[in-house]
């Protein structure tokens, strides 16, 4: 009989531990941190969506290069294709910068200069939302690059 009372206690302990664990999962969720620049976030998300939509459209509606009888027409078509590819490459780089800016927003470090840890003014962020440097640090960086040349 003593053997039977022990399992009951164990099962009670298991039940109580389940209750405790369900209480842990049933905690009230803390509200998401307030986004510091919601208008800039919306702008970045819209720009990201527009780039992805355009890229998808270009990939699905990609015209084949025709074999032009005239060599100059063929060269012109190839130049147009190269130009389009350069634009797509720039858009790919911009998309990466947008994703990084959104990540910084999610980590609550958006708007902080990577070099001096100072706050980047709202006007600069609004004008260039993917920036990582304040105007002073960016100016200094450009001057250093200019001096190296």
Residues 117 and 106 in one domain: no
For 128-146, how does the pLDDT look when each residue is reduced to its tens digit (9 = 90+)? 999 999 999 999 999 999 9
Domain count, the chain: 2
Cα(103)–Cα(125) distance, integer angstroms: 15
Q: How far apart are CA 119 and CA 108, in angstroms?
A: 12
| Distance separating the N- and C-terminal Cα atoms of the chain | 91
Whether 38 and 106 map to the same domain: the answer is yes
Residues of the domain holding 127: 113-149
In a domain, 1, yes or no: no
Q: How confident is the model over 26-76, as pLDDT tens digits?
A: 445 444 456 689 999 999 999 999 999 887 766 666 555 566 788 888 888
Question: Is residue 60 domain-shared with residue 98, that is, in the same domain?
Answer: yes
Q: Are residues 52 and 93 in the same domain?
A: yes
In a domain, 13, yes or no: no
């Amino acid at each position: 009989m003593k053997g039977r009372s022990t399992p009951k206690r164990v099962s009670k302990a298991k039940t109580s531990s389940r209750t405790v664990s369900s209480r842990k999962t049933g905690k009230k969720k803390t509200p998401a941190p307030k986004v510091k620049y919601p208008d800039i976030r919306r702008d970045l998300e819209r720009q990201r969506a527009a780039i992805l939509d355009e890229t998808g459209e270009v990939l699905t509606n990609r015209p084949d290069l025709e074999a032009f009888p005239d060599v100059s027409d063929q060269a012109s078509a190839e130049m147009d294709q190269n130009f389009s590819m350069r634009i797509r490459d720039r858009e790919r780089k911009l998309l990466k910068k947008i994703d990084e800016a959104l990540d910084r927003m999610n980590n609550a470090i958006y708007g902080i200069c990577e070099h001096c840890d100072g706050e980047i003014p709202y006007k600069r962020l609004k004008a260039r939302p993917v920036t990582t440097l304040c105007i002073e640090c960016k100016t200094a960086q450009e001057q250093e690059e200019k001096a190296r040349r």
